Amino acid sequence: MKCSLCRKKAVERLRQYKLSLCKECFVKFYEKQVERTVKKYKVFKSGERVLVCISGGKDSAAMLSALTTISKEIEIEAFYINLEIENYSDVSLKNVKKLCNELNVKLNVVNLSEYGIYLSKAGKKKCSVCGTAKRYIMNKFARENGFDCVATGHCLDDIIVFFFKNWLSGNFEWSTKFLPRMEGFDKIVTRVKPLYLMSERENAIYCLCKELPFTKDNCPYAPKDDWKEIIYDIEKKKPGFKRNFVANLPKYLNRKTNLEFKHCTICGEVTTAEVCAFCKLRKWMEERR
Ligand code: FES
Ligand code: ZN
């Protein structure tokens, strides 16, 4: 298989674009796609300070690398939350340090235990505890350190899976979460997803082509997701399905956050209840220790 653009040996065939690309052409293609997404959805405003959240995995590694090459108008720093999961987190931290070093990006690291959260004590709820804690910590860290927005490595596959899960459970109050840019309000910092239109596979190939350090193993606590397989099967029969579906989502979503919010009586962060999910979690953890 030869590259459709330069005739060198191709590494990937992109069925929906009817293109085969070599390493160098794939890297250029990928960065161009991220740049287009960022422009199309006005993901960033000029001069913004962006906290780029990285986990050590392929998606966020690809995001950080692509952002350093395309965004001259923003200022970026990386942020890693050490989940302190035996073996897995040590490898991730090593990769994250190497990545930031290579890309010349300042890295900020915090440990989950600094915030009173210990996944080892969370029993069967590890994943949901982890999700709640990460969202809370990212937001608080970004705000307290003067960042204008938080970027996460959520990609096409994540967005489509979230969408179906929420659609089926009738949960659409927070539909703005599916947008590539979710404006902040009160104490909530703006959230952006620069990889909105990139697939997991494209992120992985980009990392391999650029030889970026990333953790190949998934988090040992991550549950198997049948939805990913279902979507993969549709994409196989209908190349381009995922991208077209997600690209059109913003047209249908209500951009207003109509949720009524309060401030947590314990920590003062934004919540819809008296006590926020994170403080409830911390209380639950204390009782288990
Ligand atoms: Fe959070 Fe696995 S439990 S990444
Ligand atoms: Zn709270």
The number of domains in the chain is 1
Q: For residue 193, is pLDDT > 60? A: yes
269 within domain boundaries: no
277 within domain boundaries: no
Nearest-angstrom CA–CA distance, 275 and 63: 34
Q: Of ligand 1's atoms, which has the minimum distance to the CA of residue 221?
A: 2
Q: Of ligand 1's atoms, which has the minimum distance to the CA of residue 131?
A: 1
DSSP structure string for the chain: -B-TTT-SB-SEEEGGGTEEE-HHHHHHHHHHHHHHHHHHTT-S-TT-EEEEE--SSHHHHHHHHHHHHH-SSSEEEEEEEE---TTHHHHHHHHHHHHHHHHT--EEEEEGGGGT--GGGSGGGHHHHHHHHHHHHHHHHHHHTT-SEEE----HHHHHHHHHHHHHHT--TTGGGGSSEE--BTTBPEEE-TTTT--HHHHHHHHHHHT-----SPPTTPPP-HHHHHHHHHHHHSTTHHHHHHHHHHHHS--------EE-TTT--EESSSS-HHHHHHHHHHHH-
Residue from 80, 83, 137 to probe ligand 1 pocket by mutation (most atoms less than 8 Å from CB): 83
Ligand 2 centroid vs 275 CA: distance in angstroms?
A: 6
In the structure, what pLDDT confidence band is assigned to residue 111 with cuts at 50, 70 and 90? very high
Over residues 266-276, mean pLDDT: 94
Nearest ligand for residue 132 CA = 1
Over residues 64-71, mean pLDDT: 90
Ligand 2 centroid vs 136 CA: distance in angstroms?
A: 9
**More confident call, 144 vs 272:** 144
pLDDT of residue 277: 94
In the structure, what pLDDT confidence band is assigned to residue 246 with cuts at 50, 70 and 90? very high
Residue from 80, 85, 87 to probe ligand 1 pocket by mutation (most atoms less than 8 Å from CB): 85
Cβ–ligand 1 contact at 82 (below 6 Å): no
- Could you tell me what percent of the chain has a pLDDT over 90? 74
Q: For residue 204, is pLDDT > 60? A: yes
Over residues 100-112, mean pLDDT: 97
β-strands 270-271, 262-263 pairing: antiparallel
Residue from 115, 221, 225 to probe ligand 1 pocket by mutation (most atoms less than 8 Å from CB): 221
Nearest ligand for residue 273 CA = 2
Non-local (6+) Cβ contacts of 275 within 8 A are 264, 265, 266, 283
What integer best gives the mean pLDDT of the chain? 92
Ligand 1 centroid vs 21 CA: distance in angstroms?
A: 33
Nearest-angstrom CA–CA distance, 215 and 219: 9
Residue nearest atom 3 in ligand 1 by C-alpha distance? 127
25 within domain boundaries: no
Q: For residue 96, is pLDDT > 60? A: yes
Over residues 252-280, mean pLDDT: 86
1 within domain boundaries: no
Tell me the per-residue pLDDT of 40-60, one tens digit each, with 9 for 90 and over: 999 999 999 999 999 999 999
215 within domain boundaries: no
219 within domain boundaries: no
Tell me the per-residue pLDDT of 168-187, one tens digit each, with 9 for 90 and over: 887 766 567 789 999 999 99
169 within domain boundaries: yes
Residue nearest atom 4 in ligand 1 by C-alpha distance? 219
Domain range for 130 is 39-209+226-259
Cβ–ligand 1 contact at 221 (below 6 Å): yes
Across 163-172, 189-198, 241-250, least confident range: 163-172
CATH code of the domain in which 98 resides: 3.40.50.620
Residue nearest atom 1 in ligand 1 by C-alpha distance? 130
Tell me the per-residue pLDDT of 150-169, one tens digit each, with 9 for 90 and over: 999 999 999 999 888 888 88
31 within domain boundaries: no
